[in-house]
With several copies, the nearest count.
Chain A
């Protein structure tokens, strides 16, 4: 039986691709590098859009990356049910690409903020959270400049009503995110985006905990090996 293949996209300016790939491997899958300029998903079973500053985050975080050739494939794949995880800049890219509702704007404190935060799992049914239970708490790093989740009021209530808020900051959103939202999912539950970094919480030596690992394990369950 061959391992599940999880693609990790690199854009110019992507930073956390090495960590995302490491997390994928630690979870027991094969990490497949994907290049922004290739319109080719190389047959992967799932995709991680990692963090960083794609294209310097110039114009708007994630805006330019969302137009890359690989993203057209990701959008098509997501429509077919391909599990897609966006972390930090990846979350911003998925919002800009229209795969997830809302947008991420400048932190309320207006500075870059690097902190360990506690998240609560609000939906353990998505492709990326089925290894958690609702109400689980994760200690993981948040590090972003434009991490404040915002959406139109009716979008927010729709998200609340349909249980699509996957992660919330337990102790209040340090960046001022609406409704304390740290991560959301699409209607089908295969696309998830979150601002904090589960890939930096997979080894207690270099991160605050190993609480992030279950995201990468979750996706193994949903994918036929």
Chain B
């Protein structure tokens, strides 16, 4: 058993509406010094040892992320 993390982020050229909303709210809680926030998704997977990188990539690209508008990274912990 291994733990795998997949982080999914909007592609740089795609508008990150959520991140922008958070950016604007920062002032409200009196936080300064944060110049940019981008928001994506974070998945934690339990996978058996036989699952190879290619399968993880396929899983990420077909189910966890929408490749048309999102990029992703797969990390084995």
Contacts and interface: CB of A to CB of B under 8 A. Distances in A.
Direct contact of A and B (CB under 8 A): yes
A156 to B, nearest CB: 11
Q: Please report whether the interface of chain A is mostly helix, strand, loop or mixed according to DSSP.
A: loop
A96 B15 CA distance: 19
Interface of B: 10, 13-15, 17-18, 20-22, 24-25, 28-29, 39, 63-64, 66, 68-69
Contact of B22 (A58, A103, A105): A58
B14 A59 contact: no
Contacts of B66: 60, 63, 96, 103
B41 to A, nearest CB: 8
A224 interface: no
Contacts, number: 59
Interface stretch (A81-89, A147-155, A213-221): A147-155
A106 B18 contact: yes
A103 B13 CA distance: 13
A56, A95, A102, A150 interface centre (most CB from chain B within 10 Å): A150
Contacts of B29: 67
A58 B68 contact: no
B33 to A, nearest CB: 18
A102 B25 CA distance: 22
Interface in A55-81: 55-56, 58-60, 63-64, 67-68
B65 to A, nearest CB: 9
